Amino acid sequence: MNFNWMAWTAPTATFFGIIFCLLVIMTVWELKCPGGAPRIGILHFETTRGDRLFVSLLGSAFIHIFWLALFGGLSLWWAFALSCIYALAVFRWV
């Protein structure tokens, strides 16, 4: 696919594609099982699935920013792996 008309790189397009897929999956999940069973986790306030997705995405952005600041040229796949572990932890305990 050619994304030159928007000056996007393949990683940028992949990033936004993944976020789009996550939103579609969360929408289907909400339609299939409405309400999302809000719960109170380690942060001591009620969160829904959407809240946990938002916290996961926000935290993952910070993980990548800190990774770039600390390790620069080292592969971002390690930051991605940390972000996935972080997201799993958020959905499990927050």
pLDDT band, residue 94 (cuts 50/70/90): confident
Q: Measured over all CA atoms, what is the biggest interatomic distance in the chain, rounded to whole angstroms?
A: 46
In angstroms, rounded to a whole number, what is the distance separating the alpha carbons of residues 43 and 91? 12
| Beta-strand pair 39-40/46-47 | antiparallel
Condensed to tens digits (0 to 9), the pLDDT of residues 43-93 reads 888 888 888 999 999 999 999 889 989 998 788 889 889 999 999 999 899
**Alpha helices in the chain, H assignment, sequence order:** 10-32, 49-71, 77-93
pLDDT at residue number 7: 66
pTM of the predicted model as reported, rounded to 2 decimal places: 0.78
pLDDT band, residue 33 (cuts 50/70/90): confident
SS3 37: coil
Comparison of pLDDT for 36 and 55, the residue scoring more: 55
pLDDT at residue number 6: 67
Question: Buried b / exposed e across 36-59, counting CB within 10 Å, b at 16+?
Answer: eeeeebeeeeebebebbbebbeeb
pLDDT at residue number 12: 73
Half-sphere exposure of 15 (CA within 13 A, CB side): 13
